[in-house]
Chains A and B, each alone.
Chain A
């Protein structure tokens, strides 16, 4: 019962703020709504007894990605600047496309052959601690995740170096480009 209440409350929060993210005209409000959405999703992870995923969500998403987003917003748009409104036709087309995808996924879910035994929550065996996750990440044996872990580390290093390169090298040619392109 408590679980159901928590699930419905958190889902309402998630969906409300997600709609707020995509529909708000103020970009800063979108970012703050994104923070609320991500925190509520972290709560849902806790409800699924996935403490590690919840912690990583709060640390990396809310603490890292959203901070990056705030920096990008502050560097690229004026506070309080309204986003240009899309034409009603464009909005309708977007709504139509997303609704049809929603209908497709929902109908696929409804015919999915999940048996009742699977659908019931089994007793948590308590193998969800961060220690087990760390051991699984570092084990080269079958069922371990050593290779994906190393690959993700390489990917992160490459992406972060690339991101700094893209954002930094731009500053050498900024002045000439801004004078011709910035004040149109």
Chain B
């Protein structure tokens, strides 16, 4: 019973699909951002798994994971700030109701 690369890729595609489900079904802006974090984690897991199996002497995959996490931090900071701003202007963070610029 050996864990192969296929196991890791299967796990991360399940995690990615769960994240997509969350993005598509939740109307709350914070929930959408959190589902995005799940999808980013699935991608980062792929980087580390490929690093371990295809090039165990390199460190590139781990560094890309670090970059992904840093970009996720930037995205989360801006996203949550926008959500707080949205809450102040419309009273909730339902994405379907954010039509201020449309009307």
Contact = CB atoms under 8 A, between A and B. Distances in A.
Contact of B65 (A22, A56, A83, A114): A56
Contact of A152 (B53, B62, B67): B67
Interface residues of A, number: 94
A174 interface: yes
A132 B59 contact: yes
Contact of A109 (B10, B25, B48, B78): B10
A163 B80 CA distance: 8
A91 B21 CA distance: 8
The majority secondary structure among interface residues of chain B is helix
Interface of B: 1-11, 13-22, 24-28, 30-31, 33-35, 37-38, 41, 44-45, 48-49, 51-54, 56-59, 61-63, 65-67, 69-78, 80-85, 87-94
Interface of A: 1, 3-4, 7, 11, 14-15, 18-19, 21-22, 27, 30-31, 34, 37-38, 41, 44-45, 48-50, 52-53, 56-57, 60-61, 64-65, 68-69, 71-73, 75-77, 83-84, 86, 90-91, 93-95, 97-99, 101-102, 105-106, 109-110, 112, 114, 118-125, 127-128, 132-133, 136-137, 145, 148, 152, 155-156, 158-160, 162-164, 166-167, 170-171, 174, 177-178, 181-184
